[in-house]
Chains A and B, each alone.
Chain A
Amino acid sequence: MKTMRKRNLISAAILIAIGIGYAVLAVQLPTRNIENATGPSFFPLVVVTGFLILAAALLVQAMRGRANLGAVPVLAKISRRTYIWSLAAAVLYLVALPYLGFIAANIPLFAALMILYGEKRTVWIAAGSIGICLAIFFVFREVFQIQLPAGILGGLV
């Protein structure tokens, strides 16, 4: 219960900060003087007003300890180390994807995910990652006519 209260407090504070930042940007949007017409900032300001009121209400609820309903959600029962490694691998993949292309970037990602989901057989990992990534690439390109960038393997495939 205390954990959820703490989460609500932190999140309400973050949401209020986001709301204020958004409101500042919304006020700075260019205006056009057209009679009876609402400007580009009108809708964002309506939305952020409601957002700030609700975020403040969440903060008040959390401070009074009234926002605790039911069990505290758990993201996943995995170690923090696994989380960090997974996130780092995902970021690395996203950065490398445009340069390496869909085949060269997907094979190591697929293999890493197979290991992460409990596969231990090396031959299966190698065959699965290479075979499935190639199959997906060619099915999309040849059957569905969706051109996926081949990146560094562009001359080969």
Chain B
Amino acid sequence: MNPDIIDGFTQATLASTLAATAVGCLLGLVVGMIPGLTISTGIIIVLPLTFVLPPDISIALLLGLYVSGMTGGSFSAILLNIPGTPSASATALDGYPMAARGDAGHALGLAITASFIGGLFSFLCLFLIAPLLADLALKFQSPDLFSLVFFGLTIICSFAARSLIKGLLSALIGLMILTIGQDPMMGTARFTFGQVNLIAGVHFLTALIGLFAIPQLVDNLSAAVRDGQGGTSRARIRRILPTLNDLKSIRLPVAIGAPIGAFLGILPGAGGPIAAFISYDYAKKLSRSPERFGDGAPEGIAAPEAANNAVTGGALIPMMTLGIPGDPVTAILIGALLVHGLAPGPLLFLERGDFAYGIIFSFFWANIFNVIIAFLGLRYLVKVLAMPKSLLMPIIAILCVIGSYALRNNFFDVYVMFGFGLLGLAMRWLDMPVVPLLLALVLGRPLEEHLRVSLVASKGEIDIFFTSPFSLFFLAMAGLSIFWSLNAERRAKKAARNEMESKQ
């Protein structure tokens, strides 16, 4: 057996790493459960800790939060009909009706079980696929890597935006911001305006805190004005553990949801909500009694929950093997690794195989702790739903400021974070997604480096990108994703126009 696998397992099973994973899971369940807080916000809250903790413990904490955040989102979806995270939206379709007829515990038990199976399936995918993909990625040359990153960016833009133009503009704004600071090839200062603080560029974690947390604080402000304090469920939680019959009834939806989730997780930008809705749709189409969907069918809870938890392991595959984040959470994981001088990518498996496998096994433990903590603590955890926003939101605001400051012990980063918050609000006003901008900040540096290295190698000839089969494949995929997105946009417009005409 590969010694790195044993070392990785040992690293992930140390008491300190396990404790961090369990704490991450507990926080993830709480954060995921509270409507108005996303997993990204939860990670922003613990971000300052990851700067001081060793990398293996930091990653274990973040992975626990990521995995359990997905499960926690379903609690409020089932109990309040308000999804705690966007990925739990599909769960509310059947979870809430089941809770409303007095079966809240049953619905929650099914959600936790399906999440666990989905998570374990994605662990297997991660464990089996990631090392193979990393081996393959070692063969990539600069032109291939440029085309791969370019494909990653285009597919994120295609998935993230209703308008492809706005998605691409968002990514290009990110690339423009990225060019602030030293040129990666020659060290020339670009767009720094003599400001010493800008020489190192804008740190993407600062950007992330501003882009996600500030619009969310504003969102919750209007929700507090509209709805008053916190949300409370009147549903009574009786039996939680699913019976053997329950497990039999969710076999098919889980078998549909888990591979869909893992596959869509691998695709950058697709994410949990899309996987959950596609799985729900397929489970309904393949069900013998599709008419029960929407009225509290167990299959309608199991399929999206298996899918959204399977997304987590899927998203870790391109992050670990290619250094390409699929969503903001994996982007933060990359950031947390970079802070400790570890660069995710194929070389991680080659140079720090023990650490790479440690991440994979921490992910496994996160799924185990997730199911244990969720089942044992469910009755107490749901009390968090009543926590007043007037206390929670100021705490998040303060932690955002501390998180930005602690990154480089610099007040300038706090101002930059606030600036990104205003940018996030402006982009929301324009219906422009922020995810492409954020991921462009992560991917922009390798994009520029591989583009320029390739052009140096080819003496300025761009046909170098079309002669390598890998590069050609990724460019073709990028073209396909743009075409697919344009086509989907055209159909959506046509449908909207038809709907408007039929109303008139």
Contact = CB atoms under 8 A, between A and B. Distances in A.
A132 B428 CA distance: 31
B441 to A, nearest CB: 13
Contacts of A145: 52
B338 to A, nearest CB: 18
Contacts of B411: 97-98
Contact of B401 (A46, A67, A97): A97
Contacts of A73: 428-431
B172 A51 contact: yes
Interface in A44-63: 44, 46-48, 50-51, 54-55, 57-58, 61
A152 to B, nearest CB: 15
Contacts of A26: 190
Given A54-B172, A69-B163, A78-B221, A30 B188 contact: yes
B390 A119 contact: yes
A8 B179 contact: no
Contacts of A110: 394, 397-398
A151 B249 CA distance: 61
Contacts of A22: 176, 191
Contacts of A41: 190
B456 A38 contact: yes
B51 interface: yes
Interface string A118-142: 1100000000110011001000100
Given A94-B415, A119-B390, A132 B431 contact: no
A44 B190 contact: yes
A36 B452 CA distance: 10
Given A25-B191, A36-B460, A38-B452, A97 B430 contact: no
Contacts of A43: 179, 448, 451-452
Contact of A50 (B172, B225, B496): B172
A75 interface: yes
Nearest to B489: A69
Please report whether the interface of chain A is mostly helix, strand, loop or mixed according to DSSP: helix
B402 A136 contact: yes
Given A117-B221, A117-B224, A118-B224, A47 B175 contact: yes
Contact of B179 (A32, A47, A55, A114): A47
A77 B225 contact: yes
B166 A58 contact: yes
Interface residues of A, number: 67
B221 A114 contact: no
B455 interface: yes
Contacts of A44: 176, 179, 190-191
Contacts of A133: 398
B388 A146 contact: no
Contacts of A146: 48, 51-52, 402, 406
B168 A54 contact: yes
A76 B456 CA distance: 49
A111 B399 CA distance: 15
A140 B48 contact: yes
A67 B492 CA distance: 12
Contact of A51 (B169, B186, B221): B169
B183 interface: yes
B398 A76 contact: no
Contacts of B339: none
B350 to A, nearest CB: 28
Given A36-B456, A148-B402, A67 B394 contact: no
29 contacts: A7-B431, A22-B191, A26-B190, A32-B188, A38-B185, A40-B185, A41-B190, A43-B179, A44-B191, A47-B172, A47-B175, A47-B176, A54-B168, A57-B165, A58-B166, A66-B493, A75-B218, A76-B221, A94-B414, A97-B401, A117-B388, A118-B224, A118-B225, A128-B391, A128-B394, A129-B394, A132-B395, A133-B398, A144-B49
**Pairs A-B, 3 closest by C-beta atoms:** A76-B222, A119-B390, A113-B394
Interface of A: 4, 7-8, 11, 15, 22, 25-26, 29-30, 32, 36-44, 46-48, 50-51, 54-55, 57-58, 61, 66-67, 69-70, 72-73, 75-78, 82, 86, 90, 94, 97-98, 102, 106, 109-110, 113-114, 116-119, 128-129, 132-133, 136, 140, 144-148
